[in-house]
Amino acid sequence: MASQVLLELQSSNGSQQVPPNITFCEGAPEAWDLLYRVLPGFVITVCFFGLLGNLLVLSFFLLPWRGWRQRRQRLTIAEIYLANLAASDLVFVLGLPFWAENIGNRFDWPFGSDLCRVVSGVIKANLFISIFLVVAISQDRYRLLVYPMTSWRHRRRRQALATCLLIWVAGGLLSIPTFLLRSVKAVPDLNISACILLFPHEAWHFARMVELNVLGFLLPLGAILYFNYHILASLRGQKEASRTRYGGPKGSKTTGLITTLVAAFLVCWTPYHFFAFLDFLVQVKVIQDCSWKEFTDLGLQLANFFAFINSCLNPLIYVFAGRLFKTRVLGTL
């Protein structure tokens, strides 16, 4: 939607280290060979379906032909957030072919330093943009369904647009270190030129962990769980009242869509953040056992793939769980 890059080589004080994802712990060479052969094809497949699905979603949200014999409708507040999420996923999948080639090339980056920075920065920004948008979507549903009498005063299209703009800016700012510190550097021991992170000081490892795992996952996760717990509790307690006064069934269907989106996001991204935290422990030498390093390196690669899947799952969820969107698609066709 929004992720980290596949290669996380980090160096402090300019010293060169071996990429943690290309370790000298030769405990599973067959697994690495299988990964080099199989994973690029899966990444390209994800890229294709993610590109197709998100373009379809954006076309129905943004183009003027949103229904036969219908005037072009303005986007609702929920659609503004969902359209931005689809746009974020679309930008993200555009960077996947570069990383598929990088994996197939055994992490020997062939595209130069500029693309190394740009592709890495875009992927990093997407990680933050995606989860912040999911928080915004959950907060909007919370305000609408838990406080229906007062939400109309605060829910405005301009406010939703401003929130989305702020999220894109925040994602861009949080990816600045990646743009500045990524570079292509020769790794003579492996006979490759890798797209790597060069950290100027050991403290950057801790800053990256706080940024990635805390700001980019744990805090948003807490907000998402809080909002959705109260949404479900409110719908259970006020089901009959919502049905007669506030359009309960419609809100319930909308909440089902948002809950499905949140669940898919968590299933796809939780493994990545788990292995990213283990990678942090490896970098600060809390984990030094060779087998654990190998487990972390391979796990981070597979977790990246699960994170990629999120970008092509969202359009499927729009079609199969989003009744309103499916109705508009069928009406247009």
**CATH, residue 303:** 1.20.1070.10
Contacts of 104 (CB under 8 A, 6+ apart): 36, 37, 40
In a domain, 5, yes or no: no
State the pTM of this model.
0.82
Cβ contact 187:19 at 8 Å: yes
**Per-residue tens of pLDDT for the chain, all 333 residues:** 333 333 343 333 333 344 444 444 555 677 888 888 889 999 999 999 999 989 988 888 777 654 444 555 678 888 889 899 999 999 999 989 998 999 889 889 999 889 999 999 998 898 899 889 989 988 888 888 787 766 565 568 888 999 999 999 999 999 999 999 888 988 887 788 888 888 887 788 888 888 888 998 999 989 988 988 888 887 777 665 545 554 545 555 656 767 777 788 788 889 999 999 998 888 888 887 788 888 888 888 888 888 888 888 888 876 666 665 666 666 666
In a domain, 249, yes or no: yes
pLDDT at 306: 85
Task: Retrieve residue 331's tokens.
Answer: 């009406």
In a domain, 102, yes or no: yes
In a domain, 3, yes or no: no
Beta strands in the chain (DSSP E): 10-12, 182-187, 192-199
Domain of 292 in residue numbering reads as: 10-332
In a domain, 2, yes or no: no
Tally of structural domains, the chain: 1
- Give CA–CA dist 302/31, Å, rounded: 11
In a domain, 4, yes or no: no
Q: What is the radius of gyration, based on Cα positions, of the chain?
A: 21
Task: Retrieve residue 64's tokens.
Answer: 């003027």
Q: Please report, as a single letter, which amino acid is at residue 129.
A: I
Strand-strand pairing, 192-199 and 10-12: parallel
